[in-house]
């Protein structure tokens, strides 16, 4: 089974207020905990160099879904910051240390290099390139425009086993129609279909 590593950093962190940086990392940390529930084991999430971070996933096929949940978490928090994200997968092995700053392995190296190579306005990439890289580039464009309301709805609907839209409306204190509108505007139907096809390939 392949594992995945997501490496990221906050965009324009030197211009952000310290409170916004901390709010962003709080949102990312909580999202990482939720992602751990998908795979039946805790995720590893570590902050590095003040504005950088890494996330380890035991199931590589969930990597793009996880990246989008991180984006949605920042949007739902009022977008205190935006983040770049680079994804890489590799062969599984021993679980990495709690502090991912001390972790090594092909996926960690490839993910870091992919982040360094981001250019041309792209803020999300997959180290493997090809069709998967193209899909990541498209959802990068879609996810950067998510609003706070869209982010809140997406946080409930992006997990692999989501509640119904009516249940999401009850949790958020809005109508099902409002949930439907937020998801449609966020491009969720197309994203959901794409994630299903990617994850079916393993």
97-124 pLDDT, tens digit each: 677 777 778 899 999 999 999 988 999 9
d(CA 186, CA 39): 25
d(CA 177, CA 38): 27
Fold observed for domain 2-200: Alpha-Beta Plaits (3.30.70)
Confidence grade of residue 42 (pLDDT, cut at 50, 70, 90): low
Q: Where are the domains of the chain?
A: 2-200
Confidence grade of residue 135 (pLDDT, cut at 50, 70, 90): very high
To the nearest whole number, what is the mean pLDDT of the chain?
92
If we measure between CA atoms, which residue out of 67, 69, 102 comes closest to residue 84?
Answer: 67
d(CA 81, CA 74): 7
pLDDT of res. 195: 95
Other C-beta atoms closer than 10 Å to the C-beta of 16 total 18
């Amino acid at each position: 089974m392949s594992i995945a590593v997501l490496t990221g950093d906050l965009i324009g962190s030197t211009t952000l207020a310290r409170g916004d940086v901390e709010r962003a990392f709080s949102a990312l940390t909580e999202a990482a905990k939720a992602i751990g529930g998908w795979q039946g084991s805790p995720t590893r999430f570590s902050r590095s160099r003040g504005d950088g971070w890494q996330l380890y996933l035991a199931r590589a096929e969930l990597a793009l879904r996880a990246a989008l949940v991180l984006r949605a978490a920042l949007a739902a928090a009022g977008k205190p910051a935006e983040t770049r994200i680079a994804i890489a997968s590799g062969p599984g092995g021993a679980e990495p240390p709690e502090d991912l700053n001390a972790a090594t392995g092909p996926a960690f190296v490839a993910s870091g290099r992919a982040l360094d190579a981001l250019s041309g306005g792209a803020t999300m990439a997959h180290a493997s390139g090809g069709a998967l890289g193209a899909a990541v580039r498209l959802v990068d464009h879609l996810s950067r425009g998510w609003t706070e309301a869209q982010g809140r709805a997406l946080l409930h609907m992006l997990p692999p086993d989501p509640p119904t839209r009516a249940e999401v409306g009850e949790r958020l204190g809005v109508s099902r129609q409002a949930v439907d509108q937020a998801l449609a505007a966020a491009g969720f139907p197309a994203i959901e279909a794409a994630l299903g096809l990617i994850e079916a390939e393993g």
